[in-house]
Structure 1
Amino acid sequence: MSDTPRPAPRPDAPLVVFDFDHTLYDGDSGGHLVKWLILRNPLRSAVALLASVLLGPMVAMLPTRRRGISGYIWIGTFGLPGRRSFDALIDHYVATHRQELRRRLLPIALEVLRGHREAGDRVVVATGAPPELARAILGFVAHEDVPVVGTAVGPRLGAVVATRHCHNEEKMRMLRERGYGEVAVAYSDSSADLPLLQAARRPVVVNPKHGRVEMFRRVLPAGTPILNWGCADRGGDPVG
């Protein structure tokens, strides 16, 4: 929780949506979690290595990405009874990796997020990562208590898998289902978030891949900011 509680924003306050990975967080937070889950013991590591022949290409392609991610999560969580146990494991991961995670949170991004909150805007994080992961990192590490919409997980075949991936058009559907309407400002690095960026009155691209910069300039309104908030291996105009 924040050290200084803020009043709840007005229901008609501007809605500001932040992606999480490569936007607030330098890297793939869900990938880092799944890697930790798998490396907890040698058997999981060996199974994941063998399965990567199939799962790796699935993750790389948008139509099969959810199934590929679910496969790795299944390997990392086999034996867990359900989502609550998975959330408790996430909290343990965050608590034991706090310093590493703090280094990955981007100071410029957090400053922008806090600026919106102090202005009274309604701020929500919409991420392809499990929502408990983003909530825990922002809460335990950055002391920010913002609503999070993320990939839904549930039990299957003795483990936990992704049941609904908060990604692309599905991210917009999940936001609308939770009562979030017109988007005033959206921040994201990803071409998969084009539906979100194009829906926003003011889209802002942050930390895009170098090869995607021209595409964003072509498909988003003229003058859309394309910024770099501190991801050294990403594109965008540097922000001091």
Structure 2
Amino acid sequence: MNTVYNQAQNLNYNPHNPNLTNPGSKKFVRDYDKEPIIVKYHAITLNAIIGGIIIAATLAMAISGKFSIFQILFLVFLCFNYPLNSLSKYSNLGKCYVRFKNNEIELFSAKDDLVLSSIKLSKNLTIKRTTGPSYLEIPKKIKYLCLIIISIYVFMAFFVLTVIRGEEQHFWYIFGVIISIAILPLMFYRLFNGLGLDIIHDSVIILGETAVIEASVLTRREYFLLRGYFLTKISKDIEKIEPEIFV
């Protein structure tokens, strides 16, 4: 584990050094087999944290007795799949990392030093970007459907609680819980891991023929490292890839 940590800290890419990202120059090109870029797979930990918060919030709302059976059932529906799967995955795999080498990219678990999936580098490799954890296990259509359902739920809650019942404080409590689940876990995660706030959350998604690997980038330093890597290895600039809402 110390080896992984030490390698992950070796982020010595200088974005102002053109020789490092120039495929035609051999002088300062990094040997990624001897010195691979290793980025922590933050998504699995963040998903577990968010999953735990959703379950805890659901239990708190059910115990308080201030919410209708329909509101509780809605949250139970959300807890049925994603949170439990996230906690199970974290329990089984522990901390995971993405390792960028000369000819392939690997996702591996530090818990058992096990390679979970790998992608061979090629000029035709598809790369996408999104803001925040992408939740690759959830189909894109389901993500849009969940967004629509949550938006309708928030609108209906606002209309019923503020217009019909005049319970505006109740609505803002629900709204605060939703915002807290969406934002606070990432903020606290950054704080406790000393990651700073120089970049919000940029996920680089690499799509191979048989595997998909996500690199969660939480610092500008890691972003420059990966940009230099893809420029050097396959002449692709991730800076020019427009981020998508859902991948």
TM-score above 0.5, yes or no: no
Name the structure, 1 or 2, with higher relative contact order (CA <8 Å, separation 6+).
Answer: 2
Structure number with greater Rg is 2
**TM-score if structure 1 supplies the norm length?**
0.30
**TM-score if structure 2 supplies the norm length?**
0.29
